[in-house]
Amino acid sequence: MKLKELQKVLREKKLDAAIILKFDPSYFYFLQTKSMGALIVFARKKPLLLINNLESLSLEIKQKVYKDFWGEMQVVINKNKLKKIGISLPYLSVTHYRKYNKLAKIVDINNDVKILRETKTSEELSKIKKAILLSEEVLSDMLNNFDFKTEGDIKQFIKIEAIKKGCELSFEPIVASGKNAAIPHYEGNQKLKKGFLVIDMGLKYEGYCADITRTFFVGKPSQKQADFYYKLLWIQEEAIKFSKPGMKVADIDKKVRDLMRNDSKYFIHGLGHGLGSEVHESPSLSSKSEDVLKEGMVITIEPGYYNKFGIRIEDDMLITKKGAKVLSIFTKELMTIDL
């Protein structure tokens, strides 16, 4: 996955190699598999995977089995005369940094790798689309079999359905009803209450995430509540229209808050984020972000309102030449649920 592009970055930065450690999410990204080891990407020759002697992987990348990881790593560094090495420092402990730094000059490449991962390959996009499809099937099955008494019952249903579909969860689902919906990252498990019901969930298919939020209503909404919901939905769809290659994400965030007017003070989180093998990736869609949208990115758009009640509407979308192509198609009509 973009190993040649990483090699080009290494040559531009005049680095001899990059070491991608097993704790770094990019380890899975480049290998598309989980194992115990380290990927060494040389600037001018084929990569090498140091792998635990208890494992065996069917990969095209050359592999070298180790019993003593650090001893084998020192051999590789010295044998290949690696003087400047790129490593994503957030995934390197202070102790290990000191050990590597005794053998070569260490340069942080975390941001460079993040940028490589921003735009998705056709293989990645296929897996994200599948994750979204399966997530929407779970939402549909939930509504068709709605016999839940608590928020936790819904979360448990989502978890069981994920297992049935051979998936992991992208993150712990958020199920928040009544006043709880006004807490963006609510974690409770209370009896379902009348009012807005926010469900934020996503399945992970073959290592790639979906992230969808829909807001339902338990009982019958007042006209004011329904109007407020559809106002936020209109704003969300306007934000989708703004999302085109070359747009600064901070400008999109500002447009949304301008449309919300006085209610913008109740929109207390970022507008969205990148989506891929991690549920939160670069770019970050917020007022402080300096990121710019590029063709090939997959992002979320999720404006919210949190005051006396809570509403959030979130879609996953691909940035194309013409603009944003929405990948999540589950209805955004305000659906009501009778208890």
Summarize pLDDT for 113-128 with one digit per residue, the tens: 999 999 999 999 999 9
The radius of gyration of the chain from alpha carbons, rounded to an integer in Å, stands at 23
Taking CA 19 as the corner, what is the angle to CA 291 and CA 42, rounded to the nearest 5 degrees? 100
- Count of H-run helices and E-run strands, the chain: 9, 20
Of 52, 86, 116, the residue that ends a domain is: 116
Predicted confidence at residue 56, as pLDDT, reads 63
CATH code (residue 332): 3.90.230.10
Residue 150 is classified by DSSP as B
* 43 CB neighbour count, 10 Å cutoff: 20
Q: Is 80 exposed, middle or buried (0-12, 13-18, 19+ CB in 10 A)?
A: middle
115 within 8 A of 280, measured Cβ to Cβ? no
Q: Are residues 163 and 42 in the same domain?
A: no
Q: Are residues 313 and 164 in the same domain?
A: yes
Name the domain count of the chain: 2
**What residue ranges in the chain does DSSP mark as E strands?**
17-21, 37-42, 48-52, 62-66, 84-87, 105-108, 168-169, 174-177, 195-201, 203-205, 208-209, 212-218, 272-274, 281-285, 298-301, 304-306, 310-312, 315-319, 324-326, 336-337
Predicted confidence at residue 251, as pLDDT, reads 97
- List, as own/partner pairs, every contact residues 257-262 make where C-beta atoms lie below 8 angstroms and the sequence separation is at least 24, other chains included: 257/287, 259/235, 260/235, 260/303, 260/305
Q: Are residues 155 and 221 in the same domain?
A: yes
Q: Are residues 271 and 331 in the same domain?
A: yes
Q: Are residues 142 and 290 in the same domain?
A: yes
Q: How far apart are CA 271 and CA 306, in angstroms?
A: 14
CATH code (residue 61): 3.40.350.10
Q: Are residues 41 and 157 in the same domain?
A: no
pLDDT score of 319 more than 80? yes
Of 98, 116, 134, the residue that ends a domain is: 116
Please enumerate in sequence order all residues whose Cβ is within 8 A of that of 35, keeping only pairs 6 or more positions apart, or say none.
22, 49, 51, 52, 55, 57
Q: Are residues 16 and 154 in the same domain?
A: no
Q: Is 34 exposed, middle or buried (0-12, 13-18, 19+ CB in 10 A)?
A: exposed
* 22 CB neighbour count, 10 Å cutoff: 18
Between 12 and 33, the more confident residue is 12
pLDDT score of 94 more than 70? yes
- 98 phi/psi in degrees, rounded to 5: -65, -35
Predicted confidence at residue 60, as pLDDT, reads 78
Domain extent, residue 69, equals: 3-116
Q: How far apart are CA 41 and CA 338, in angstroms?
A: 56
Lowest mean per-residue pLDDT among 44-53, 167-176, 214-223: 44-53
pLDDT score of 85 more than 90? yes
Q: Which residues pair with 114 in a beta bridge?
A: none
Predicted confidence at residue 188, as pLDDT, reads 92
190 within 8 A of 150, measured Cβ to Cβ? yes
Q: Are residues 59 and 136 in the same domain?
A: no
Q: Are residues 140 and 84 in the same domain?
A: no
Q: Are residues 189 and 263 in the same domain?
A: yes
Mean pLDDT estimate for the chain: 95
Q: Is 166 exposed, middle or buried (0-12, 13-18, 19+ CB in 10 A)?
A: exposed
Q: Are residues 232 and 265 in the same domain?
A: yes
Q: pLDDT of 274-296, one tens digit each?
A: 999 999 999 999 999 999 999 99
As a whole number, mean pLDDT of residues 208-224 equals 97
50 within 8 A of 69, measured Cβ to Cβ? yes
Of 116, 137, 155, the residue that ends a domain is: 116
278 within 8 A of 114, measured Cβ to Cβ? no
Q: Are residues 103 and 239 in the same domain?
A: no
Please give the structure tokens belonging to residue 204.
């992970």
